[in-house]
Amino acid sequence: MADACQVPRPTQMFPSLGAVFRQALTLLVLSGTVSTQKAPAYDPAPFNYIGTIDGMTLNTASGPLGGGTLTVNGFKITIPKNTLVTLPSITVAWPELFVNGQPNLPLLGSVSWEATVFGNVVAGQHIAGLVYITQEATQSLTGFITSINFTTGHFFVDNAVECVLNDPLGRYGHTYTTNPLWSVDPDNPSVRASTGFPICIPRNSTDPECPLTNRPVDTQGNYLSIFTYPDPARVVAGGLDPRIMAPLAVGDYIIFSGIKTSEGVLALYSLEANLGIRTAPGTKPAYITVESANYGIIDPNPNLETGETRAVALATDATTTVEWFAIDVDPCTGEESERQLVIAQGSGVAPVGKIVYRLGKVDASPATREVGFRYSSGTSPGPRGIVAGQFIQPIFDFIFPELITFGANEVPNQFDVIPFLALGSGPLELGNPLAAPLASPTIVGQLSPWPGNPVPAPTSCPPPSAVTSTTPTTTPSATPSSPPPAKDIITIVSASSRNQKGQTTTTVVASSNNPAAQLFMAITGVDNVAATAMTKQANGQFSLAISTKGKPSSVTVTSSLGGTPVTQAV
C-alpha cells in the first residue's frame, strides 16, 4: 500500500489500523452477549489509540525529562519519565510541550489536537510507550499559490487561506518564531519540490539566497515546472545554481499541512510543491526527501504476523544509489552509529527518482527512533545550513506484530525490544529549535514507569559529567558520511547597552563559524535574563536586543552546537 500512496509526511502519523479495527469488532460482538459471565481479562494488555487530546498534565518536579498524564478520548494515560514525543518535524521531551505548567498547544479546546499512543495496561494502569502529537493529524491541503508577500513571507492559497512557513530558524525564508514546536524540519529539505529539491520564499525580489532567477522561464516568461539544474561546475554567474534553493512562485501547486494559530494564519510544517526539479546526474549537491519509513517489530510468537520494514524516498539524482540506514544510539553517550539496511537507486522511469525500499521478511532489529538516507557519493553543504545528500527521518510507524489467531490473548506491545525506550538514548538534546541548551547534561534513561511486565534491565551509565568529557569515536560506517557535528566557535561581534527613561536596552551581535548553529544570549546584572534565542540575520550573524529595568554587567552568548560560551562586559 505504501508504494502506491502519495500521501505527504504528516499523514504518516497513522499507524496500521489492524488492532483498532479488531477492538471495534470485539465490542460489536460483546454487545450482542446476554450472559452475565465474563471473559477473563488479562494484564498486561496492549492499547493503541489514535484520538483527540482531552487533557495533558506535567510532573513539574521531575525536571527536563519528567512525565505526566495524557487523556485521549476519555482514557487517562500515564506518560513515563524519559518520554520523548514525536511531533511532525521534531522530537521533544514531554515538558517541552508545556509553558508554566500549561499545555502549549495553540487553540487547544477549539481545534482538534490529536495523539497517537502505543502503550500497555500494566496492573490496571495505562502506560505509554510511544507518543505522537499533532493538530489535526489527518490534515492535508492542496491548492495554487495566488499571492506571496515578500516582506512578511505570508502567502495565500487559492485566494482563501493565508499561510506562513513555520520556520523558526529562517531556513526557507523569513523567520517565524511564534510556535517553534510545530516547525518545518530545519535540517532536512522539508520545504521542497516533489523530487526533494529545497524551495524557499524570497525575502525580497533580489534575495541572493532565494533569487527569482533560480528558476528557468519559457519564451513567454512563465516559470517552468520541470527542469534540471546544471552541474555546479558549469554554473554561470546569475544563472541556475543547484547550491541555492529554488523560489516558490505564484501559480505553483502545493500540498501542505500546518497548524491553525491564534493569529489566524496557518503555520506550515510541511510543504511540497508539484515541481519536477532535478540535479545533474552524478553531481553534488543532490537532494533526498522521504515519504514514509516504517519499522517492523519482530516477535517469534506464532500467533503473530510481523509487519515489513520499508520506506519510500525521492532523489533529485536517479543515477546515484542511496543507502538507507538505521541509527543506533549509545544509551549513555548518545553516540550514533549507522547500520546499513538497504542500498537502492531511484527509478529511471516515471516516477523518476522514486526509491522504494522493501525488506520483506528480513529482520531489521533493533528498531531505531530515527533512520537516515544518504547518497553513496556522500553529502555536501546545502543552502542555509541544510545538509544536501541526506535525509534523517523519525519513524512515524512502528508496526507491531498483528494477532493472526483471532481470540488468542492480545500480546502486549513489545517495547522491551526497542533500545531507545528500554535502555535510553544518552544526553537529552531539546527538540525545540529555539530552546537554550540545557545547563547541565541530563541522560535519557529507560521509561519509568515501564510500560510492560517484566521491566527490562536498565542501563548503568557513568555520571553525566564523565559522559560529556569522553571523546567521540568515529561512526563505524562503510559508506562516506558527514563527520559528527563539531562544537562551533562563537564570536561576539558587538555588545552594548544604552539607558533610556529607566530602561536599559542591551544589543548583541554575534556569530558562529558553523552555519547550522543557533545562538542564544543571556544577561547578568541587576536583572538576570536567561538564555534567549537570537535572530539570524541575512549575513549569517545573530542579533538580539533585550530591555531590562536594571543595569546589566555582562552578556553571555551560547550555541545550540555546544561551542564554548563567550562572556563580555557591557
Ligand X SMILES: *[C@@H]1O[C@H](CO)[C@@H](O)[C@H](O)[C@H]1NC(C)=O
Residues that bind ligand X (CB under 6 A): 149, 151-152, 203-204, 206-207, 538
State the nearest-atom distance from the C-beta of 207 to ligand X, in Å.
4
Question: Nearer to ligand X by C-beta: 207 or 338?
Answer: 207
Specify the residue, 155 or 325, whose C-beta has the smaller distance to ligand X: 155
Q: Are strands 266-273 and 191-193 parallel, antiparallel or unpaired?
A: parallel
- The number of beta carbons lying within 10 Å of the beta carbon of residue 301 is 14
Q: Which is nearer to ligand X, 127 or 246 (CB)?
A: 246
Least Å distance, CB 378 to ligand X, is: 29
**What's 330-344 look like in SS3?**
CCCCCCEEEEEEEEE
CB of 11 or CB of 152, closer to ligand X:
152
Beta bridge partners of 120: 46, 127
State in angstroms the smallest separation of the CB of 516 from ligand X. Answer: 18
DSSP string, 78-102: EE-BT-EEE-SS-EEEGGGGEETTE
| Burial environment of residue 463 by CB neighbours within 10 A (0 to 12, 13 to 18, 19 or more) | exposed
Rounded Cα distance between 561 and 430, Å, is 12
Identity of the residue, 22 or 174, whose beta carbon is nearer to ligand X in the bound complex: 174
**Separation of alpha carbons 153 and 266, rounded Å:** 12
- 153 or 451, CB closer to ligand X? 153
Host H or E run for residue 199: strand 199-200
Shortest CB 149 distance to ligand X, Å: 4
Buried-exposed string 11-40: b where 16+ CB fall within 10 A, e elsewhere: bbbebbebbeeeeeeeeeeeeeeeeeeeee
Q: How far is the CB of 557 from ligand X (least distance, A)?
A: 22
Residue at shortest CB range from ligand X = 538
- In angstroms, rounded to a whole number, what is the distance separating the alpha carbons of residues 351 and 227? 15
Task: Tell me the closest approach of the beta carbon of residue 373 to ligand X, in angstroms.
Answer: 30
Q: How far apart are CA 387 and CA 308, in angstroms?
A: 29
The residue whose grid cell reads 487523556 is 71
| Least distance CB 183 / ligand X (angstroms) | 19
Looking at beta carbons only, is 152 or 541 nearer to ligand X? 152
Residue 207 or 323 with smaller CB distance to ligand X:
207
Going by C-alpha positions, the residue among 362, 338, 306 that lies closest to residue 476 is 338
Closer residue to ligand X, CB minimum distance, 152 or 228? 152
| Residue 146: CB minimum distance to ligand X, A | 12
Quick one: which of 335, 329, 345, 342 has its CA closest to 377? Answer: 345
CB of 210 to ligand X, least distance (A): 8
Question: Cβ neighbours of residue 35 under 8 Å, at least 6 residues apart?
Answer: none
In the complex, least distance from residue 170 CB atom to ligand X, rounded to whole angstroms: 9
Q: Which is nearer to ligand X, 196 or 202 (CB)?
A: 202
DSSP type of residue 212: G
Q: How far apart are CA 89 and CA 528, in angstroms?
A: 32
**Distance from chain centroid for Cα 177:** 16
The kind and range of the H/E element at 257 are strand 253-260
Q: How far is the CB of 537 from ligand X (least distance, A)?
A: 8
The answer to whether residues 158 and 481 touch, using CB atoms and an 8 Å cutoff, is no
Q: Which is nearer to ligand X, 437 or 515 (CB)?
A: 515
